Structure 1
Amino acid sequence: MNVPNSAADLDAAMQIAIGAAESARGFTSPNPAVGAVVLDAAGRIAGVGMTQPPGGPHAEVVALRESGDAARGGTVVVTLEPCNHHGRTGPCSTALIDAGVVAVHYAVADPHPEAAGGAETLAAAGVAVTSGLRAQDVERGPLRAWLHRQRTGRPHITWKYAATLDGRSAAADGTSHWITGPDARGRVHADRAKLDAIVVGTGTVLADDPRLTARLPDGSLAAHQPLRVVVGLTDLPPHARVLDDSAPTLLLRTHDVEEVLAALAEYTDVLLEGGPRLAGAFLAAGRVDRIQAYLAPLVLGAGTSAVSEAGVSTIDGALRFHHESVETIGPDLLLSLIPAVSEDPALSGNP
């Protein structure tokens, strides 16, 4: 007997699906990181799935396999509209119908023209379908970068920086280790393990000699390492740590933002880490889609600014952002900001 799922049950299932999707980030590109939960006919969790690496099954199929016969007469909660096309794998819409589920609740419609249409196929087969469940959490969470790429045709760029309360990323003598505390640094490494690429300028490599790898709390390398991208015309010393074999590295001899984006056209989730002139160039070009600002409770009074040459000369021309969230991480704050939208182009961030 099928028991109608309450709104609270569906909401809780979607939270689990979002968590599953988040754990798949970094391993699914160019496919979206999707999470799915199967509730049996009595409303109990029967299976949880996430998108597998390219060529592997999608989240719905993984969850259905874990559920087995318990999926029949049950409900599926999934972060993205089930796909409706034959790619490396078959359509998830057909798999759900064959499994005998009676309802599907998804968060976000699939904008990909070849994959879209799963909701219509399910409805035509008599499956009850609803959309929009925790859509904002999904759009701002595991599907943020993928949806951006589908809608704009370019990688999603997050500019991440750490600074003092007076906006300094290094002291007057050039020292910058460590502005933020260990909790914030651990968060950065956890986030790196979910990215496609990290971009820095040659100046940052010469000044700090970073590894730009994602490391676990014990110092070992994470299972997934993003592409390390170094932008600039200056030659790097052969012993630079960014050239080691712990992760792939791409050297781009350019200062042009659009050339960088063109070189990363096949990537989805890209982090811009430094330095100040490179960040300023991306900001001036309107190519920063999100800012992650780690603010430490420190004041230096002098030193290197977190950003320079962003193309702003007056307060009226300021690049404006609004915050999505503010988190406390140890003694530090993490501000997540996106470009503000205004009817006046002079007051807007990215177009």
Structure 2
Amino acid sequence: MIEFKNVRKVYEDGTEAIKGIDLLIPEGKLVALIGPSGCGKTTTMKMINKLIGLTSGTITINGRDISEEDEVELRRNIGYVIQRIGLLPHMTIEENISLIPRLKGWKKEKYENRVDELMNLVGLEPETYRKRYPLELSGGQQQRVGVIRALAAEPPIILMDEPFSALDPISREQLQDELKHIQNSIHKTIVFVTHDIDEALKIADDIAVMRDGRIEQIASPGELVSSPANEFVRSFIGEHRLDEGKKEMSVLDIMSEDPIILEYDESEFESIPHDATVAEAAALYVSKEPPILVVTKEGRRIGSVSRSNILEAVASKQRREAQSQ
């Protein structure tokens, strides 16, 4: 868990970049920091690994004040992914990924196995790409390597500074999907800086909307869209997204990507189309037992919807409706 308490950052010229923010980033969650240019989101993130020092207040990681931590050791235990990728061009892909594990004294067999595991995770065949150099890869492939390099030493925290913004739309969407898939497997604490509200809504567990060095609202994507805190947040989200948020939730919004359930015999479960609404899934429970498989038009299983998923979704909707009255 990362906690900011009344944190301020004032530069030597008197510019107050961060104006006394309080922020709680739960363990195992992906929290997006978003806002217009100059709002302080990157400064906030860089204070976590002491790339930027705070002026006053405290930042703690699992209760330990980072001001008392050695910055080299702190950074070796925090993964870091930047927009410009930052791969070392004179090192092979294998050497880039294994850099921090080697610095931490891992044995060769251990870090080589870790490299193969991570490359397979993002669809880069180790035998094909391990000995290549960064310039021999496409931009999207390089950024995949940048992401898994941050995971290599198994850090509990990963900082991501607009990592996909320089990519083409297709590569960007693919990497967003891969990040969601990876996070569902590893449950790291991720702080993700972005200027793209659609990206934040897609990948984040919680979103902190910033303006002028302050946090205007912290909420889940659903809560942010359904109940913006003020006119700034509302305008930043955009009216068309607010209108989308009023539509019926689909089963894709609440399903669990449970690999165990997907392996069961299909005859054991009911299934429902991926574009079905939560209300339709709830209706199916009148006469059927959970869980319900979620399938694509081609019949491929992509997840499941449980009783708890539906009840939580219905309760959340009722809370939002009550707040809007």
Say yes or no: TM over 0.5: no
User: Under a length normalisation based on structure 2, what TM-score does the superposition of the two structures give?
Assistant: 0.28
TM-score with structure 1 setting the length:
0.26
Bigger helix fraction: 2
